[in-house]
Amino acid sequence: MTVPPSETIELCLSWLATRDEGALPSLLLSAGPITEDARYCILAERPRFVVEGTPFGAMGGRFSVRDTRTGSTIAAEPIDRLFDVLRQIERDHGRPPVSGQPGSAATLPFSGGWIGALGYDLAWSFEYGIPRYRERTTTLPDVWLGFYEEPLVVDRTTGAVHGDATAIAAFSQRDAQRTRPRFRAGALRSAFHREDYEAAVERVRQHCIAGDLFQADLTRRIEFDLEGDPRGLFESLVERSPASHMAYLGLGDGRAVVSASPEEYLRLADGVVRSRPIKGTRPRADSPERDRELRDDLLASDKDIAELTMIVDLVRNDLGRIAEPGTVEVGAFPSVLELPQVWHLMADVTAHVDARHDVWDILAASFPAGSIVGAPKPMALEILERVERSRRGFYTGAIGYLEPGGNAMLSVAIRTAEVSERRLRIGVGGGITALSVPSEEFEETCDKARGFLLALGAREDGVTVVGELDDGVD
C-alpha cells in the first residue's frame, strides 16, 4: 500500500497518538529533509520480549527478559551477560518474517527485531573498571529493548508502507479531527547552576592542561514536572525541531523516552559499519548574512576542528577493534550539519566488519559513543563521573533498532528526554578542551537545549523557566 508521501509524518504521529500505552509503542521517525539516511520511519507495538536492566540500584546489576505472551520472566541474569542472552534469543526465534509485502525485506532497513535504548551508564558493564561516585535518582532502567516481530516500515520518498496488511490498513486511516495529545510542564530545575557548571568546565579544562585528557564531554540535566501525555511533547518537537533520528519509546507505566537526535552512533548494513560523530556548535541566526557568518566561524574554529579530530581518532580506534585490517576509513572531514537551531561539524568513519563479529561485538567495542565521552575514553569516563552532578540515564546512550544477524541503526541519545514519575529530564552538554572558555561552554548547552525548550513553550534564563508551560493546543 502507498499513502501520499507528504502525509507520512502526520500518519506516523496519528498512529502513535492512538496507541494504547500498554502496547509499548515505539516510533523511530526520520523528520526534516529527506535523504537516503533519513528516509524511513519504523513503527512497532506489542513486543514479544521486553528486556530491562541496570548496572546499579535496586536491580543490583541485573537485567530481566519478560515474555509478554505468557507474562513470565524467562531470564534474570547479571548485566554483563546481557549481550550473550540477546544473542540466544535471536538464535531461538530466528529472523522475524515480513508479512504483507513479499520479497520486500531485502530492501528495507528493518524487518523485525530489537527496538529500544541503551543508557550511558551501561558503560559500567564493560571492561573500563571505573569507580562509581553517584547514585541513581530515577527508577528508569539503563537498558530497555523490545523484540518486535511485525513492524511497519514507511518510506517517506514513495509513501510505500510495508508490514502486516491489517496494521497497514489501520495506519492509513488518518483522523482529520485529531488533536495533539496535551501536556503541561511546570517549573524548571537544573542540576548545575551557571556558576557551578562553569566551575566544572574549569576543572575538566585543568585536566586537559595537565595532560590527563585531550577532551571530555561535560553534561548537565534540566528537569520539569510534567502533566499529561509525553506524545504531545514529541509532536511539538517534530514541528519545531525536526531531526533525522527522532524516536518515541513507550516503556509502559507512565515511562517514555523522547528523542530528537541528529547524530548517528552506528549504522550497520551489508557488513559495513559507519559512525558519524558531531562536534562543535554555533546557534542559527534569523539574518541569512549572520547565519552564514556563524557557519563560517564554526568551520574556521581551531578549537572545534581539534575537538572533532580527537573524537574521529577515538572512533577509528573503537571500530578498528572489530574491523577487517586496513578497512577503517575517514570520509569528508569536516562537513557541516545544518539543524533548525544550530550548526554542527560532522565526520564520517566507516569500516568493514570482521566476519567473526556481530553488532553486539561492535557495541562492546565502542559504547558509549566517543563524541559524548572524550579521549582517552576510560580517563574521560572516570573524570566525568567525579565532576557531573547526576547520572545520565538514557541521555548520551543509544536509541534505535538492531535486526538479528542483519542491519542496525543507533543514534547517539542527545537532544533526548526521559519521562517517569511525572518528571521530564533533559540532558545537555558540550566538549571541553584546554581551549574552552567556561562561559561560552554554558551558552553552548543553552543553544542545544533550545529545541526542547521551544517544544515545551519555555525559555531558560540561567536556571529558571519563565511562566507556566503548555502545549498551546486548544
| Residues 386, 207 contacting (CB under 8 angstroms) | no
Task: Name the DSSP letter for residue 25.
Answer: -
| Residues 51, 143 contacting (CB under 8 angstroms) | yes
Spatial distance between the Cα atoms of 296 and 310, rounded to a whole number of angstroms: 21
C-alpha cell at 184: 503541561
Residue at 185: amino acid letter: A
| Residues 406, 111 contacting (CB under 8 angstroms) | yes
> How many helices (H) and strands (E) in the chain?
10, 28
| Residues 85, 93 contacting (CB under 8 angstroms) | no
Spatial distance between the Cα atoms of 396 and 377, rounded to a whole number of angstroms: 14
Task: Tell me the residue ranges of DSSP E strands in 233-360.
Answer: 245-252, 255-261, 264-269, 272-276, 278-283, 329-330, 335-338, 342-346, 349-352
- Please identify every residue annotated as catalytic: 263, 279
Task: Name the DSSP letter for residue 30.
Answer: -
Bridge partners of residue 96, in order along the sequence: none
β-bridge pairing 183-190 and 215-228: antiparallel
Spatial distance between the Cα atoms of 250 and 262, rounded to a whole number of angstroms: 20
How many C-beta atoms lie closer than 10 Å to residue 60's C-beta?
A: 11
C-alpha cell at 330: 575517514
